[in-house]
Amino acid sequence: MIGIGAWKQRMPPRDEALPGREQALLPTRTHHVLGRSLLVADHPGMARIWFGMGCFWGAEHTFWNLPGVVSTAAGYAGGYTPNPSYREVCGGMTGHAEVVQVIYDPARTSLDELLKVFWESHDPTQGMRQGNDVGTQYRSAIYAADVTQLAAAEASARRYLVALEHAGLEGITTEIALAGPFYYAEDEHQQYLSKHPDGYCGLGGTGVSCPVGLAPKS
């Protein structure tokens, strides 16, 4: 049920989105935990995908220590405004979700394993919110780098939906799409929970396990 703040739970029309800016904001530091570049171009041969799971502080923390993950970065995707700021995204008029960019080595981990962590680490049934974090920027989302990733994400959603339904939970509201532009968040948001171990993390899963590599069963 949509109540107070309902306007923040609706995507803004494209023609009403904030204009943004031409200048791209690129990270100026290496990864606070892994010591590596946050830029995809600096990791040739690696794969990447983008996950929205609510506040990107907790989402990034979920992935950076997983086996096979080379680098992570907080940022914005799925919206209209070019090169938005954190304040603009939180205002609800850019259309972006807060996301984590995951750069990973396909020889050391599988996309299915990353998707399993994604589904189990948040609640993908809540629409434009995640717990007490309300707004379009907190929506659940998977932005795929190519059609192969897209198909894998859609298949994993079907599998997890069966598991959720068996547990008596509502349907998945996760946005699954090919990735558009990804915009890096400001330096202070990168690896935030490593720099501030007692910082806010609003992530919470459903408690339902996600099957990996299995066909959905009714």
Per-residue pLDDT reduced to its tens digit, 190-215? 999 999 999 988 888 999 988 875 44
Give the mean model confidence (pLDDT) for residues 8-15: 90
* 209: helix, strand or coil: coil
Annotated domain spans of the chain: 27-195
Asked if residue 5 has pLDDT above 80, the reply is: no
Instruction: Clarify whether 55 is annotated catalytic.
Output: yes
- Report the pLDDT averaged over residues 37-53: 98
User: Of these residues, 55, 90, 201, 210, which one is catalytic?
Assistant: 55
Name which residue leads in pLDDT, 218 or 35.
35
Phi and psi angles of residue 99, each rounded to the nearest 5 degrees, phi first: -135, 165
pLDDT the model gives residue 170: 84
Which two structure tokens, joined as six digits, stand for 199?
């910082």
Whether residue 8 is predicted with pLDDT greater than 80 in this model: the reply is no
**4: pLDDT strictly greater than 90:** no
First to last CA, the chain: 28
**Span 71-118, pLDDT tens digits:** 999 999 999 999 999 999 999 999 999 999 999 999 999 999 999 999
The second-level CATH assignment, the architecture, of 27-195 is 2-Layer Sandwich (3.30)
- The count of other CB atoms within 10 Å of the CB of residue 19 is 11
To 10 degrees, the CA torsion angle through 4, 135, 14, 154? Answer: -130
